[in-house]
Chain A
């Protein structure tokens, strides 16, 4: 399929202009490729429509950890946060925070986004710009990205989770200094991405738990929303579509996210129910994150039924719907096959890349030459 066709379908879905199909993506973590290897390739090749870029043998490359965060052990990012991991092929978690002691705050300096990204990987912005130009020449959509955890999560990566929660609950003034530093880094990064000519920008920040937001909507509006509005607004004003992902329940602030300028939101089914999301149908394009917990524990029939129900409830002739299905390594192969078969039946391919792909695409190329 032509890149141009994929891009047009994606944009039409985003802007409610009667897309020819529902853009759908089935994503596999590196650990999933490592677990199943060639067997997974057979499934992917069977449903090639969903994986237009996949080439036989790619599984060997895809099974390798794309970044040190996916390797067992410890890794320190460019902000000084220490990540720990003991499962190859899954991303680790931050276990040591550099600003547990407020005394270090004043002298604390964020990384320089012109030179490196959040994880300390070197970035060549001219090269990125040329990459985007090439994608445009081929009729494709150019995606930029901010890391998964660009703002709210970065605040607690830096300060520590409980510490940040207590700071917010107690109205600790130094939180605002911390916010200022993270804000400035991200605004500089936004400026750099905007110069590359991207069409869509990917943001990820986990705001919810399985049952609720981590912080109240009131606190979200006080501490987080003003910055979201500022940075999403920069892209929106420049005609760049804003994609926003969050794990957990976010339906209670979806209206806020729309107000902040989000064009495509990626809510998880489970913490957010289909009935709740259905009420916001037509207000924003939804890339529904199908119930990955069910993929792990359900039967192939339950999975097929789930995907049918969600898409049936959310679809509209004019668009505004995409579907995302992520399979982790413990999902049985027959369930993966059920996911692929159903997605293939109900959706077409997407121009969208997931965060791992975005990062890998732009970084490996920038480090390895044009």
Chain B
């Protein structure tokens, strides 16, 4: 019988999909020891693994515990790569700023989106919950993100997204950033009505949306 040797990056990807934290660390180190460039390990090991996690989440095979465990495994590998990625070009797919709007303290969904975006190679700056328009504006000025994501769980607070977009408009920086919105009560129609560039119903589709918007 023919024995097919499985490469280290493939083992790394599979370990990540299974959420095996220690194995991810092990194979990341092994790939580095084999002189694989850090960016290749990131793209073909960790990000490739998180892509599969995203699909499984979207298809209802994975739930929040599995996604968070895989994200934890990814971070374990990323911690080993980060010092080496600093000198390499294109280390991040871009910056995304995320925040839950003013009046709303819910952030479980936002944290899942953050984990998935990081898994896709984005640098994510989470500016927290109960964030007012001024802070969103300040974050866009400061971090110059490709995408700004706003979250709300309450129908009571989701309308504040429009206030934030108006504030960005008034400050003349609305066109500097793509804006996405999400959260249980939010839908495509609402996103259009407040002037957002996109809406995603879940974390996995938020990654697809950010990819589409940043590729444009």
Contact = CB atoms under 8 A, between A and B. Distances in A.
Interface in A307-338: 328-331
B201 interface: yes
Contacts of A196: none
B105 A329 contact: no
B185 to A, nearest CB: 4
A213 B63 contact: yes
B105 A85 contact: yes
A328 B105 CA distance: 16
A165 B65 contact: yes
A10 to B, nearest CB: 28
Interface stretch (B44-52, B66-74, B77-85, B207-215): B66-74
| Size class of the contact patch on chain B | 20 to 34
From A84, A87, A161, residue with most partner B Cβ within 10 Å: A87
Interface stretch (A40-48, A107-115, A204-212): A204-212
Interface string B94-120: 000000000101101101000000000
Contacts of A17: none
Contact of A165 (B64, B130, B156): B64
Contacts of A198: none
A19 interface: no
A1 interface: no
Contact of A211 (B189, B190, B201): B201
B68 A328 contact: no
A212 B60 contact: yes
Contact of A169 (B68, B105, B190): B68
Given A86-B103, A215-B63, A330-B156, A170 B201 contact: no
B154 interface: yes
A115 B190 CA distance: 47
Given A162-B111, A296-B156, A329-B156, 13 more contacts: A86-B103, A87-B156, A162-B68, A166-B65, A170-B19, A170-B69, A209-B64, A210-B202, A213-B63, A215-B64, A216-B62, A248-B184, A271-B184
22 contacts: A84-B105, A85-B105, A86-B103, A87-B157, A162-B111, A165-B68, A165-B69, A166-B68, A169-B68, A210-B202, A214-B64, A215-B65, A216-B62, A216-B66, A219-B63, A248-B184, A271-B184, A295-B155, A296-B156, A297-B190, A328-B156, A330-B159
